[in-house]
Structure 1
Amino acid sequence: MIQKICILLLLFSFGKNQTISKKEYHYEYYANGTIKAEGWKSGNAKVDFWHFYYPNGKVSKQGHFNQNKKNGYWHFYSENSKLLKEGHFVNDKAEKWWIIYDIATQIIQKYQYKNNKREGYSLLYKNNTLFKAERYINDKKTGEWTDIFSFKRDNPNASL
C-alpha cells in the first residue's frame, strides 16, 4: 500500500507538462555490420556507461555520459587492446589528473587539466621513473625541473 502511494505521489509531482523519460540500451554499427558503440540513451541523449569499438571489434574507449557529454572517468585503448590513456571529464572537458601510457602500458606522462587546458603539473617518466616535471598555467609551461629533488624542494605542497 505504501509503495502504491509513493508511486502515485511521484507521478503526481511531475505535473501535466513533464514526462518521465525512460532509458533504453542502444547499439550503433559500422557499415559492415560490426558493432561501433553501445550504451544507454534517454531520449536522444547518451547517458550512463558507453563502450566504443574499433572495426576489428576491440574496445577503443569507454566511459560515462550525462546528456551527450562525457562525465566521469574514461579509458582509451589501442587497436590491440593496450591502455593508451585515462582521465576524468566534466561536461565534455578534461579535468584533474590524466595518465598516458606507452605501448608496454608503462606510465610515460601524468598531467593535470582544468577546463580542458593543462593546469598544474606534468610529470614525465622513463622506465617507470620520474625524470622531469613541468608546471602549466592556462595551457602554458611556466616551470621545468629535471630532477625530482629540485622539484620537491621548489614545490613542497604539490600533490602528486
Structure 2
Amino acid sequence: MYLNYIFCLFLAFNLSLDKKEFIRNFDTEGHLKSEGWVLNGQKTDFWTFHHSNGRIEKKGHFKNGKKTGYWYFYSENNKLLKEGSYTKNTMNDWWTFYSEKGKKKIQYINGVREGFALVYINNSLKKAERYKSNIKTGEWTSYFSFMRDNPGVKF
C-alpha cells in the first residue's frame, strides 16, 4: 500500500513538470517557417521565423507566448529592416528602422512613439523629432536649435 502511494506521488509529480520542447513548423511545400521552443503550449525562449525563400524574416525571444527582449526583422533579400525591444508583445525603448537613405531611431513607450526620433542619412544625424502620444510635436535640423529648445537632454 505504501509503495502504491509513493508511486502515485511520483507519477503525479512527473506529469506536472513543465516540458519544454524544440519544434519546427513547415509550410505546405516543406519549407521551414519557424523554429523555437515551446513550454506549456506557448512559445518561449529564442525563435526564428523564415520567409518563403528560406531567409530569416525575424528572430527574437518569447516569454509566456509574448515577444520579449531584443528582436531583429529582415527583408526577403536579407537586409535588416528594423530592430528593437519588446516587453510583453509591445514595442518599448529605442527602435531603429533602416531604409536605403539611412536610418531612424525612435523611442517607444508601450507601443507608442513617445520621446525623440533621430534621423540619420549616410550615418550623419540630419534631424531630430519629438513625439507625444504618437503625434510629432517638434522637429529640429540643427544641433544648436535642438539644444536650445531641449536643455538637459542627453542621448
* TM-score bucket (shorter structure): 0.7 to 0.9
Tell which structure's C-alpha radius of gyration is larger.
2
1:46-97 per-residue CA deviation (whole Å, 9 max, x = no partner) reads: 0000000001110000000011110000000011111111000000000000
- Ranges in structure 2 where 5+ consecutive residues have no aligned partner: 1-8
Q: Which moved more, 1:131-140 or 1:146-155?
A: 146-155
Q: 1:107 to 1:72 in 2, by over 3 A?
A: farther
Percent identity over the alignment is 48
Matched positions, count: 145
Structural mapping, 1:50-69, within 5 Å? 50-69=47-66
Gaps of 5+ in 1: 1-10
Q: Distance in 1 between matches of 2:127 and 2:135?
A: 16
CA contact (8 A) 1:69 1:92 kept: yes
1:20 paired with 2:13, answer no
TM-score (normalizing by structure 1)? 0.84
Q: Tell me, yes or no, if structure 1 residue 86 matches structure 2 residue 83.
A: yes
Q: Distance in 1 between matches of 2:74 and 2:153?
A: 29
Whole-Å Cα distance in 1 between the matches of residues 144 and 16 of structure 2? Answer: 59
2:147 is the alignment partner of 1:152: yes
Equivalent position of 1:111 in the other structure: 106
* Structure 1 CA distance for aligned equivalents of residues 153 and 19 of structure 2: 45
CA RMSD of aligned residues (A): 2.0
Q: Does the CA contact (< 8 Å) of 1:51 and 1:61 recur in 2?
A: yes
